Structure 1
């Protein structure tokens, strides 16, 4: 039986990834320090190793205790805005941790890694449709550390037999279990407001988009999880491109999201429009053609699916 280590597997995205690996017949060991994850999110059947990747000795001990065939590396500090105030912490959690992980993988002769990267590596792109050739220009320590993580893994692969790829996420939403508990993401922000009886906010309605609000690419978390399983399977037998965008190719505006949220939740509301936030690009939408070609991956869920599943998870949390 194949066993994969999922770092950050007690988090919102990581727990969905772990669940999909188990459903595919792959054993899972979760490594998580529970700083933002939750023990209850770890799916039944997965083993939890509680500790931090910053502790090199602990990481080495995990590989000594388990026969690991591959790694999905999701653990990290993910709050881009806060990373500006905490750059050293962000680099430690996202870069030092990745070095420790790669060193332990090399010592244990683990052959494959799928890296959780981010659309933050692109910064504010100047193209309507981002693809893997779009120039990277991260604009926060968080985005920088994700790009450095990609570089570290690629550099390590040049001197070893490591097989690797990185999946760049855009806006991951929806649920099939754990809710998104981020204090900054759009869906949980809106749901917290609705559950509290307050009115959600839109930041800026004078962008150069059809309805004046920001346009983003949204993908259901179970589609993202499925991409990780597909990447892991592909790496077991061959090589992949160094990076893939997990994008739908279709943008949705904040106003469209809000309108559908009112319909799905049955709570009519008119969002309060606040001034635009500095640094928010008008549009970020990504092509998923490369992932479709190599991983057989295409998003399967509609906006209604995303909202209804996320709303149900937020209500049961």
Structure 2
């Protein structure tokens, strides 16, 4: 199965000279969404954020966005999108477990509903936030470009549903409604409520172990670099295209995770496990989980291993050329920012 990679000559692209005036955002209370709101409201852009709970409503309101009550399948989505110039679809079910119909409804059906509503509301352009996980099958992914095909067998339901969501999103692309897909890898940095808290929890509980020593390379994407990429995609993105967004040069996985933990005052874990063993445990655990219809939860899955047990590195040449993308935050600066943030909240 080939990955969508419609190569559109740059001379027929219709770049925008400035960001949209009004954006409809899904996933606004999530890690990426919160930073999208901060970034664009600082530019004077109005954000209408889809919310499905009182907590989400409070979050986006505090950040300066206007909440719109509903979920990805709400029939009245187009009403919230009225007068918006652009859509940023950042919402997704990111569960790396066994997945299921709920994940498919959110990632696939939800994407179809959101893009359809945006098109019917007359929105001029859309950015679909995807992931490098659409290419993962558990084997190393080395310096992959956007031409890299989808795998014959996905690592798990998260990968497969996000790949299908990409295809759905790009099926809406037309000259009047350009749709651009962005694929970050390992989003990290300030205000992280996803990866870093999980790593910290595992390390402090003594449950963290380096798979095969963790000595393989990885691409990463600081949150500021991702939202910068979103802005550039709105300005210069060519409809129908997919772009990787990362911090640039890959880093050694073990070194990066150890330095992330150090920003939180946590020493580097020392325990190591062989990859073949943990993959065998994942295979058995998934089989038991399915046989028990979810009653037995696997302690690790092939989906989670695919993101963190082998090299996953990406080539961002296309984003550099077409989006004029250059990372705005270096890894060193992002790590220093995390140290400063911890220092500010710790008692003296």
Structure 2 length normalisation: TM-score?
0.75
Is this contact kept in 1: 2:262–2:268, CA < 8 A?
no
Could you say which residue in structure 1 is the equivalent of 2:113? Answer: 100
Q: Quick check: 1:171 aligned with 2:163? A: no
Could you say which residue in structure 2 is the equivalent of 1:61? Answer: 79
- 1:76-225 superposed matches below 5 A: 76-79=92-95, 81-82=96-97, 84=98, 86-124=99-137, 127-137=141-151, 138-158=154-174, 161-175=176-190, 179-182=191-194, 185=195, 187-192=196-201, 198-199=205-206, 201-206=208-213, 212-225=214-227
Could you say which residue in structure 1 is the equivalent of 2:299? Answer: none
- Mark the CA change 1:5 to 1:262 in structure 2 (over 3 Å): closer, same or farther: closer
- Mark the CA change 1:127 to 1:77 in structure 2 (over 3 Å): closer, same or farther: closer
SS in 2 for 1:299: coil
- Mark the CA change 1:49 to 1:74 in structure 2 (over 3 Å): closer, same or farther: same
The CA deviation string for residues 246-272 of structure 1, in whole angstroms up to 9 with x for no partner, is: 134432233202442465445444433
Is this contact kept in 1: 2:222–2:247, CA < 8 A?
no
SS in 2 for 1:55: coil
Q: Tell me, in whole angstroms, the C-alpha distance in 2 between the residues paired with 1:310 and 1:35.
A: 29
The CA deviation string for residues 65-119 of structure 1, in whole angstroms up to 9 with x for no partner, is: x41111000011012x22x2x3211110111111211221222111210000111
- Mark the CA change 1:56 to 1:7 in structure 2 (over 3 Å): closer, same or farther: same
The aligned length equals 294
Q: Tell me, in whole angstroms, the C-alpha distance in 2 between the residues paired with 1:203 and 1:37.
A: 35
Q: Which structure 2 segments of 5+ residues have no match?
A: 1-19, 280-301
SS in 1 for 2:212: coil
Is this contact kept in 1: 2:52–2:70, CA < 8 A?
yes
Could you say which residue in structure 1 is the equivalent of 2:5? Answer: none
Q: Quick check: 1:297 aligned with 2:297? A: no
Relative contact order, CA 8 A, sep 6+: which one is greater? 2
Q: Tell me, in whole angstroms, the C-alpha distance in 2 between the residues paired with 1:35 and 1:152.
A: 30
Could you say which residue in structure 2 is the equivalent of 1:230? Answer: 232
- Mark the CA change 1:204 to 1:127 in structure 2 (over 3 Å): closer, same or farther: closer
Structure 1 length normalisation: TM-score?
0.81
The CA deviation string for residues 235-293 of structure 1, in whole angstroms up to 9 with x for no partner, is: 5xxx3451001134432233202442465445444433245342435200101111111
SS in 1 for 2:122: coil
